[in-house]
Chains A and B, each alone.
Chain A
Amino acid sequence: MSAPEPGPFAAPWEAQVFALVVSLQESGLFTWAEWADTLGAAIRPPDGPEAPANYGRWLAALEAILARRGVAGTDAVEVRSRAFLRAAEATPHGQPIVLGNDPLRGG
């Protein structure tokens, strides 16, 4: 239970989620109290047991706040996610995955 841990983030995406939340809080989009309430709700699904407050739940809480504020709706996030998945598939190994590589990207 108390084994030493290598670093604060297990994967780059965890660090990105963390940085997004901190950055948005600092710019005043939400307070830490609102964040804690939203995260607290995200780890307590109505139909299941309490979950760890890990970065996957951070992502869910962030999406909930952004949708609630009208900053980024679920549909927009979904569309953009699919574009990144297509872009990844079209990007050779070792090269940066950028949206421009999405073969369906319109003008």
Chain B
Amino acid sequence: MAQDHSHDHDHPHGSELSPIEARVRALESLLVEKGYVEPAALDALVEMYETKVGPHNGARVVARAWTDPDFRARLLADATPAIAELGIGGRGGEHMIVVENTPDTHNLVVCTLCSCYPWPVLGLPPVWYKAPPYRARAVIDPRGVLAEFGVTLPETTRITVWDSTAETRFMVLPMRPAGSKGLDEAQLAGLVTRDAMIGTGLAHSPAGEARP
């Protein structure tokens, strides 16, 4: 707010624009001038990713797979069209693969190159997913990474790490938690976290405490 200003107010002063903000505005204005982008389309994209696209989409997919064995089979066989059945798809999800957690195998997704991520089902990646420590350690020491997320698996559970790329983006189908038998699809979706679908978390149990 205005009270935060510590310098004197005797002269009129202008607006603040950081160098990076100026650079982004410069790029945008050049691209608009040359007809490469439309301002209204840019605004629509931002609004969509701020309000509509996010892990709640993936949670719907998981809940459906937990309740509908035929859907689950289609999802594991060819994820992109199965996910499209729920009206979910589009950019960044042209070729998705869903990998299923079982008592024997836990799956963990990373992008070692940069930050490839299944946007239609999970939204945009969290900061840690894009950071060098996760990119490097998920491959070298997946069990250690899981421990940092508070996930401890039995020694007998094998951990498989999947490297997402621009063309192929992975999502984890977590195990359905115990005690969730009577729940409907919407209630089940509420148990599915973003991290559970990356593999750095597990689905919540209905009675259990919410974990990130």
> CA A90 – CA B148 in complex, angstroms?
49
In the complex the two chains form, what is the Cα distance from A95 to B113 in whole Å?
41
- Complex CA gap A7/B29 in Å reads 26
B107 at interface, CB cutoff 8 A: no
| Known contacts A24-B36, A29-B36, A53-B114, A80 near B31 by CB under 8 Å | no
CB distance from B171 to the nearest CB of A (A): 17
- Size of chain B's interface in residues, with CB distance under 8 A? 60
Chain A residues with CB under 8 A of B49: 8-9, 15, 18
- 0 or 1 for each of B6-22: is its CB under 8 Å from A? (1 = yes): 00000011111101111
**Is B149 an interface position by the 8 A CB rule?**
yes
Complex contact A36–B21 (CB within 8 A): no
| Interface positions of A from 34 to 60, Cβ below 8 Å from B | 35-37, 39-40, 43, 49-54, 56, 59
Closest-CB distance, B120 to chain A (whole angstroms): 12
Question: Chain A residues with Cβ under 8 A from B94's Cβ?
Answer: 32
- Contacting B at CB under 8 A, from A70-107, are 71-72, 76-78, 80-85, 88-95, 97, 99
Size range of the chain A interface in the assembly: 35 or more
Per the bound structure, the CA–CA distance linking A23 and B41 in Å amounts to 8
In the bound complex, CA of A84 to CA of B45 (Å) = 24
State A27–B38 Cα separation when bound (angstroms).
11
Q: Given A2-B195, A5-B126, A16–B46 Cβ distance below 8 Å?
A: yes
Name the residue on B nearest A15 (C-beta): B46
Assembled-state Cα–Cα distance A102/B127 (Å): 36
Which among A43, A77, A91 is the interface contact of B114 at CB below 8 angstroms? A43
Bound form: Cα–Cα A97–B91 in Å: 31
Residues of A within 8 A of B23 (CB): 59, 63, 77, 81
Task: Give min CB distance, A59 to chain B, whole Å.
Answer: 6
Chain B residues with Cβ under 8 A from A94's Cβ? 15
Q: Is B68 in contact with chain A by the CB < 8 A criterion?
A: no
Is A18 a contact partner of B45 (Cβ separation < 8 A)?
A: yes
Given A24-B37, A32-B167, A91-B14: A39 and B26 interface contact (C-beta under 8 Å): no
Asked if B123 is an interface residue, CB under 8 A from chain A, the answer is yes
Which of B43, B149, B166 neighbours the largest number of chain A CB atoms within 10 Å of its CB? B166
Report which A residues bind B (CB closer than 8 A): 1-5, 7-9, 11, 13, 15-20, 22-27, 29, 31-33, 35-37, 39-40, 43, 49-54, 56, 59, 62-63, 66, 71-72, 76-78, 80-85, 88-95, 97, 99
Identify 7 residue pairs between A and B in the complex whose beta-carbon atoms are under 8 Å apart, listed by A's number.
A2-B128, A9-B49, A39-B113, A43-B132, A71-B34, A83-B26, A84-B21
Interface of B toward A, CB cutoff 8 Å: 2, 12-17, 19-31, 34, 36-38, 41-43, 45-46, 49-50, 54, 91-92, 94, 111, 113-116, 123-124, 126-128, 130-132, 135-136, 148-150, 165-167, 195, 200-201, 212
Sort A-B residue pairs by CB-CB distance and give the 3 closest, nearest first: A80-B26, A88-B17, A36-B166
